[in-house]
Structure 1
Amino acid sequence: MSDKILLKNKKNISVEAAYEVFQSKRKTYSLSLNENGVLTVRVPLYVNGNEVEQIIRGKQFWITDRLAEYEEKKRRRPAFEYTQPQRLALEKRYKEAAREYIPKRADYYLAAYPDLFSRCYSRISVREQKTRWGSCSSKGTLSFNWKLMLAPPAILDYVIVHELCHLVHMNHSAGFWSCVAAILPDYKERRKWLKDHGNELTLS
């Protein structure tokens, strides 16, 4: 169940924002708008409710801008919606395409940068992850969200490279980001696109 908070936009107009808080063993916070226009706030375990509100208010212009974009996209959205059987059929096709396409792109980067990768993945899994676009296990299993097939190819490649570099660095250290940058010098722009537009990768 989401909470609500009243924010001010750049025109000093009040905007009500719904938000959900997720606490985990992380060191920093993150904000994103999900496909339903609800703000997702991810924070460390020690952050309390008042601190969450302070974080939100500290980013109120960014949040209200995203909410305005969401409302505009909703207004432009086609009047029709897929039926449940249609949506399930489309999801099945995208998952099948992902299972064929993603391993090919992963193998391409492994072959193109042999000096960077000392190991190969053990297998690749495609599923619908609720909070991640991709992951890499200690055993070398790479998992990807099928919804990445709805993203521009450059963004999908960024997530693939990101997870491949976790085969070398199981963290987000400077060494890890150097690995990503060696393959994709513009990875920051691609990462930003995914952060700003990831909530749009859905079947309406």
Structure 2
Amino acid sequence: MGQHIISGNPPVTVIVRKSAQARRMTLRVSRLDGRITLTMPEGVPEAQGVAFAKEKEGWLRKQIANHVTVSKVDFGTSLPVEGRLRVIRPCEGRRVILEDDALYVPGHRDQVPVKLRTFLKETARRRLVEAAHRYAGRLDRAYSSIVLRDTRSRWGSCTAEGRLMFSWRLILAPKDVLDYVAAHEVAHLAHMDHSPAFWRAVERIYGPYQDQRDWLRTDGNQLHAYRFED
């Protein structure tokens, strides 16, 4: 693994990686830290890869400009829960308490990230199970299980066996966005594609969805701006 720097203001550092599994050259900008990785097939000369990256310089700079700075949650941080910003504050006791404008977290500040992550995952599970159950009933289909992960490439998925997966960070999004994602994945129980019939099913069980879909495209990346681990 090496790296190449594209000159300019600011310079753009591209990490060059060769892969025996790669069939074509790809550029990836990490949502987590903004790192740019160029993956190339083993037999392709590095100079060809560098030329490919330079061709994409405009796109790369746009991605860098849109990159969300990741920050660790702490006392005083404003964190969205169900789309509403809440200030993280210390408290006595053992439980995290959610109020209209605040999140009260007990214990030492070093424990804030893990306690909040646990609370948010539990809250997300309750909301997503409720939403999935509601939409599955409207569709008259059953799912087999629900799994929560911290995915960055997708907000949800549905397998042919009816296993639903969701990002627990959806609890940070507005309520209607979480509901839309739940309805979207439930609709895959009937249509394992994105055909017109699938979108009709989404609209039938959820209603008009374009605003929520647009929100994920324009603002969804902000949900990855908070770090809950060391």
Report the TM-score range of the alignment, normalised by the length of the smaller protein: 0.5 to 0.7
Give the count of matched residue pairs: 192
Determine which structure has the larger strand proportion and give its number: 2
Determine which structure has the larger helix proportion and give its number: 1
Shift of residue 122, structure 1, vs aligned partner: 2.2
CA deviation string 1:50-81 (max 9, x = no partner): 7876665454334323323447x469x98999
2:121 and 2:168 in contact (8 A); partners too: yes
Give 2:31's aligned residue: 34
| 3-state DSSP of counterpart to 2:142 | coil
- Relative to the length of structure 2, the TM-score reads 0.59
Q: What amino acid does structure 1 have at the position aligned with 2:179?
A: D
- Relative to the length of structure 1, the TM-score reads 0.64
Give 2:12's aligned residue: 16
| 3-state DSSP of counterpart to 2:170 | helix
Aligned to 1:86, which of 100, 108, 112? 112
Is residue 64 from structure 1 mapped to residue 64 from structure 2 by the alignment? no
- Report which of the two structures shows the higher radius of gyration computed on alpha carbons: 2
Q: Could you tell me how far apart the structure 2 residues matched to 1:40 and 1:136 are? A: 29
Q: Structure 2: state its 5+ residue gaps.
A: 78-107
2:70 and 2:225 in contact (8 A); partners too: no
Q: What amino acid does structure 1 have at the position aligned with 2:218?
A: W
Shift of residue 147, structure 1, vs aligned partner: 1.9
Identity of counterpart residues, as a percentage?
Answer: 25
The CA RMSD over aligned residues, in Å, is 4.5
Give 2:222's aligned residue: 197
Q: What amino acid does structure 1 have at the position aligned with 2:113?
A: R
Is residue 144 from structure 1 mapped to residue 166 from structure 2 by the alignment? yes
1:187 and 1:74, CA in 2 relative to 1: closer, same or farther beyond 3 A?
closer
Q: What amino acid does structure 1 have at the position aligned with 2:187?
A: C
Q: Structure 1: state its 5+ residue gaps.
A: none
